[in-house]
Structures are given as structure tokens and as C-alpha cells.
Amino acid sequence: MPAVEMVQVFGKKKTAIAVATCKRGKGLIKVNGRPLDSVEPELLREKCIEPVRLLGETRFKDVDIRIRVKGGGKTAQIYAIRQAIAKSIVAYYQKYIDEQSKREIKDILMSYDRSLLVADPRRTESKKFGGRSARARFQKSYR
């Protein structure tokens, strides 16, 4: 049995994690078993499609990308999805196509938006005692 040409990468934003599996196929991109066109919320759907629009659909026509996403809110999930799509196509081209086209793809994505390939390290700061949030303190009264 021949080995399947497949790469698995992840995208992260806050607590949302999207795991993308990219393999040879016929151009399908699915998120949690549903097509990319039916991602909610509708206003942020364009953000998911950005990597495909930037690189052109010809680069995606011979690969299938399946994405599982969980955690976080809707916006964080969208950003995790777009990062997973971009990282998966770069990893697939590096492993199975050639280094030249991979570098070309990476340069296009980096010049547009660095967060497509590099995760944002910012996380929520934890709450401390003596106040209602991470930084805010309760008011003092001297009476």
C-alpha cells in the first residue's frame, strides 16, 4: 500500500485551536465537516478565505484540507482556521512539491499578514485577589 501524502498542522488564536490535515485530493476545504463557504459568522467568512484568495485557487486545486476547530470564541476560531489553512499549504508544498514554490507561497503570505503563519502569543491575564479583574483594584474608603 503506497503512503498517503499528508501533513498535519495547527493554527492557534487565544484558546481556539484548529488542526488542519492537508493531503492530495481535488480541492476540498472543509471545517468541522462543512464546506468553507458555510462558516459562521458570515462577516468573518472572508477572513477564512483570505489564504485561498491570496495564493490563487490553482495552488489548492490538487489538495484537500480538512480542519477540526474547537475552543475559544467565534472570532478566535476564524483566525485559527485561516492560520491552519495557510500553514498547511506551506507545509504540504515543502514536503511534497519543492522548496522554491514553498518559499514563494511563504513570501506572499508573510508580506500580506504575518499572523497567517506565526501564532499570536498573547493570552488572557489571570485575575488576582484584591480586585475584580487582572489589573483593577477595589476602591479604598477611609471612613
pLDDT in tens, 4-49: 889 999 999 999 999 999 999 998 999 999 998 899 888 999 999 9
The predicted pLDDT at position 1 comes to 61
The predicted pLDDT at position 3 comes to 80
Tell me the average pLDDT across 89-113.
93
Looking at the chain, the whole-number percentage of residues with pLDDT higher than 90 is 79
Tell me the average pLDDT across 47-56.
91
CA distance 104 to 68: 27
Q: Around Cβ 109, how many Cβ atoms within 10 Å? A: 22
49 residue type, one letter: I
User: SS3 for 115?
Assistant: helix
